[in-house]
């Protein structure tokens, strides 16, 4: 009887070992083939540090896209975003690196299509009424002109990268209320700028959803850290001028990157 127990026990051990050996191994997550597209908010303008080979596109090692690539398993990273880009520039210049092998695409685009820089300039230099008028014109362009431009751009991205997850990152509200050291930059002006950012977000989110893309809303992540806050993650008027009203190093690392991580892992 004692020998029988030994035989049964040995057989069970052999069976268990065979089960372990036969069990399939879990595959490691595949490395991403990642392409980052868009304008200055994607290239990292505002971080004040740019790669020498990016020229006027001002691509930064501190931009959210580069930070994401540095912190994930990535087999290929095509950093195509460029300062000043509009949707037509994305379509003409930024899609060549996309293919059926691309697994992730991020894009921030649309602000320049509605005249972002001129709106900010009018609000800084003009009175409250002039700022209101400038923002209203930008909102009109966002509602009436931008949707078709985004639809074309998103369709081209999908055609070029049919298997990719596409994440559209929105723009933050730029300013905070209260005391501010910028002359004549009233609460009324700041509120209208933020109103315009909300309209832009609504339009971009709607067209991203229509394209089947993931929209990543950045507004809550930047809340309390806009221009005129005590802890700014967005530059106010700056020298050089191009840095103005763009997220700084903290804006990319503490706001945009967590927003992107939340939808990609």
List per-block mean pLDDT (blocks of 10 residues) for the chain, which spans 265 residues: 41 42 49 97 98 97 98 97 98 98 98 97 97 98 98 98 98 97 96 98 98 98 98 96 97 98 94
Output the six-digit token pair for 17: 């070992």
pLDDT on residue 29: 57
Give the CATH number for residue 149: 3.40.50.1110
189 alpha carbon, distance to own chain's centre: 26
| HEC assignment per residue over the chain | CHHHHHHHHHHHHHHHHHHHHHCCCCCCCCCEEEEEEECHHHHCCCCCCCCHHHHHHCCCCCCHHHHHHHCCCEEEEEECCCCCCCHHHHHHHCCCCCCCCCCEEEEECCCHHHCHHHHHHHHHHCCHHHHHHHHHHHHHHHHHCHHHHHHHHHHHHHHHCCCCEEEEECCCCCECCCCCCCCCCCHHHHHHHHHHHHHHHHHHHHHHHHHCCEEECCHHHHCCCCECCCCCCECCCCCCHHHCCCECHHHHHHHHHHHHHHHHC
Contacts of 144 (CB under 8 A, 6+ apart): none
Output the six-digit token pair for 13: 């051990």
Note the pLDDT tens digit of each residue in 181-202.
Answer: 999 999 999 999 999 999 999 9
pLDDT on residue 221: 98
Does residue 22 form part of some domain?
A: no
Q: In whole angstroms, how far apart are CA 144 and each of 109, 122, 229, 265?
A: 16, 21, 32, 35
Record the pTM. 0.88
Residue 246 annotated in active site? yes
Contacts of 10 (CB under 8 A, 6+ apart): none
Contacts of 99 (CB under 8 A, 6+ apart): 160, 161
Annotated catalytic residue, options 3, 40, 60, 72: 40
Annotated catalytic residue, options 60, 225, 229, 246: 246
Does residue 195 form part of some domain?
A: yes
pLDDT on residue 4: 38
Does residue 97 form part of some domain?
A: yes
Print the domain residue range for 115.
31-258
Domain count, the chain: 1
Burial class (CB in 10 A: 0-12, 13-18, 19+), 154: buried
pLDDT on residue 18: 42
Residue 72 annotated in active site? no
Does residue 196 form part of some domain?
A: yes
Does residue 66 form part of some domain?
A: yes
pLDDT on residue 231: 98
Note the pLDDT tens digit of each residue in 44-99.
Answer: 999 999 999 999 999 999 999 999 999 999 999 999 999 999 999 999 999 999 99
Does residue 25 form part of some domain?
A: no
Strand order in the sheet with 32-38: 74-79, 32-38, 104-108, 165-169, 214-216
Does residue 20 form part of some domain?
A: no
Does residue 265 form part of some domain?
A: no
Q: In whole angstroms, how far apart are CA 227 and each of 65, 176, 181, 217?
A: 23, 6, 10, 18
């Amino acid at each position: 009887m004692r020998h029988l127990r030994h035989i049964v026990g040995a057989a069970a051990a052999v069976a268990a070992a065979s089960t372990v050996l036969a069990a399939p191994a879990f595959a490691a997550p595949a490395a991403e083939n990642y392409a980052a597209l868009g304008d200055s908010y994607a290239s990292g303008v505002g971080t004040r540090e740019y790669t020498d080979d990016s020229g006027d596109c001002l691509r930064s090692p501190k931009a959210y896209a580069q930070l994401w690539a540095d912190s994930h398993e990535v087999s290929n990273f095509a950093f195509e975003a460029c300062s000043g880009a509009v949707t037509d520039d994305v379509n003409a210049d930024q899609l060549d690196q996309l293919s059926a092998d691309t697994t992730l695409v991020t894009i921030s685009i649309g602000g320049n299509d509605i005249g972002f820089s001129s709106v900010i300039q009018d609000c800084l230099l003009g009175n409250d009424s002039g700022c209101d008028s400038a923002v209203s014109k930008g909102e009109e362009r966002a509602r009436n002109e931008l949707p078709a431009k985004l639809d074309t751009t998103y369709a081209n991205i999908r055609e070029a990268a049919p298997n990719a997850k596409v994440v559209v990152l929105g723009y933050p509200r730029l300013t905070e209320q209260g005391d501010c050291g910028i002359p004549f930059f009233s609460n009324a002006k700041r509120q209208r700028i933020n109103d315009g950012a909300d309209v832009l977000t609504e339009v971009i989110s709607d067209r991203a959803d229509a394209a089947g893309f993931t929209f990543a809303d950045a507004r809550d992540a930047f809340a309390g850290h806009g221009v005129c806050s005590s802890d700014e993650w967005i530059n106010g008027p700056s020298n050089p001028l191009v840095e103005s009203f763009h997220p700084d190093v903290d804006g990319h690392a503490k706001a945009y990157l967590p927003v992107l991580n939340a939808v990609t892992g």
